[in-house]
Each structure stands twice: as structure tokens, then as C-alpha cells.
Amino acid sequence: MVCLLEEIQRNTSDPSNYKNLGDCFKKIYCNEGLLGFYKGILPPILAETPKRAVKFFTFEQYKKLLAPLSLPPAWVFAIAGLGAGLTEAVVVNPFEVVKVSLQANRNLYAQQPSTLAQARHVIKTEGIGLRGLNKGLTATLGRHGVFNMVYFGFYFNVKNAIPVNKDARLEFLRKFTIGLASGTLASIINIPFDVAKSRIQGPQPEPGVIKYRSCWKTMVTVYKEEGFLALYKGLLPKIMRLGPGGAVMLLVYEYSYAWLQKHW
């Protein structure tokens, strides 16, 4: 699903490119085989544990920092989520650059360089700065910052507004539904940053010419050349991944946090 999302978002208005999710799925399978869907899978796996740890740990720390300010709870959850997302983005961005560069390779899976070899290639040819291993950092900051601001802010404020159910199964369903809505809403709001990130970190339309350089300029360019809806390319696979995934992640966090508080 991650691979499909990146492929769809990188495509321009060229009619030879992917038209929709089904078309993208079909062309990748025909041209690159089944393993083509798993290109760039190692960087997200390597980043996932530190990424989630940073997200939830810093969320709690930002809440503590905001406590003395006596802000309304709604503001505290949203601002803490924003801070957690920005911190998370700094950690995950180099992994995203390597992942996108691997997924943009149209060769068969067996002909691809390894993740380590690709990372070395990026560092050697482009460096570790904002044109190399940290390319697209501003867009990644926007993507993760906005997502987590809405994600945490919506979830905890809505959850606290709806009465707790005494039935454990209905309580689980209540939290899952709110988490699903949180992940879906956050995905809809932050996807323009996601599209910009994919364009900046992916191959440029013309070799040697950097068309997509900064986050905001990329959004403006996409809007002018392809229309408003182009900023929402890949929304369906994104919601399919982060809607239920976001719900599960929040439930694991909540129940794990409660268990640790009780036993530690």
C-alpha cells in the first residue's frame, strides 16, 4: 500500500501514467512483478520502531511541558501532537528519501540495489543536506506535524467528550471508531504535504532540472499544472492504510500505557 501511494503521488498529469489505484496496481504487477509492490520496504521497517517510539514518547513530554501554561485540554493535545509530529519527521525523513528512491526504480526487484547501497549512493552523489539524505524535510515536517496535530487532537478531545462504556467490548469499539475517524481525518488534511514530499524526493520530470524543490512551491506548481484534486492523489490508499492503522496504533498505545501505569 505504501508503494502504491508513493507511485500515484509522484505521477504527473501525463496520460501514460497511473490513472487510479487499480491501474497503478495492474501496471506495477505487469511491469515489475509481484515483488515490485515491496520495493523500498526495508527503510520503513527500520524506521518504524524508532518512529513510533519518538512519536508517543515526545507526545507525553510535550504534554508535560504545556501543563504549566494552563491551556484548554483541546489545545494541549493538538499542540503536543504537532510537536511530536515535527520531532518524528526529523527522525524519519532520511529513511523516506532512501525508500522513495528505491520505489522510483522501475527495474525488477532482483535488479535493485540494496537499501544500504542506495543510502550510500544518495550520500555520495547528493550529500546529507537538504538536497541529499534530508531532501524534502520541510514537506515531511508538514506531513507529520499536521497529521499528528489532527490525529492526537481529534482522538483525545472526542474520546473525552463521549462517555466511557462499562461494557469492555463496546468501550473497545468506541475507541477504535474514534481512532479510525482520527486517522482518516488526519490523512485527508495532511495529504497535500504528502504529495509535495513524494514529488520532491522522487525523480524529477526532466533529468538534471530540479522542478520540485520546496514544499510550498511544489504545491503551487502541482495546483497550477494539474488542478486542485492533484494535491489529493493517493488519498484512497492512504486512508486504507492510516485509517484502521491509526486506530490500532492508538489502541495499542492506550492499553500499553494503562498497563505500564498500573504495574510500574
Model pLDDT for residues 119-151, shown as the tens digit of each residue: 898 899 889 888 889 999 999 999 999 999 999
- CATH code at position 97: 1.50.40.10
CA 137: distance to chain centroid?
A: 13
Between CA 86 and CA 184 the distance in angstroms is: 19
First to last CA, the chain: 37
Predicted local distance difference test score (pLDDT) of residue 8 = 58
Please check whether residue 196 is in contact with residue 218, taking contact to mean a CB–CB distance below 8 angstroms: yes
Residues of the chain with pLDDT under 70: 1-29, 31-47, 105-111
Predicted local distance difference test score (pLDDT) of residue 44 = 63
Closest CA to 150 of 119, 107, 181, 108: 181
Name residues whose C-beta falls within 8 Å of residue 164's C-beta, 6 or more positions apart in sequence.
171, 174
Give the chain's domain count: 1
Give the gyration radius of the chain's Cα atoms.
19
Between CA 155 and CA 161 the distance in angstroms is: 10
**Type of residue numbered 244:** P
Predicted local distance difference test score (pLDDT) of residue 262 = 79
Q: What are phi and psi of 209, to 5 degrees?
A: -115, 120
Predicted local distance difference test score (pLDDT) of residue 15 = 43
Between CA 168 and CA 166 the distance in angstroms is: 6
Please tell me whether the overall predicted TM-score, pTM, comes out greater than 0.85 for this model: no
Could you tell me the residue range of the domain that residue 185 belongs to? Answer: 2-263
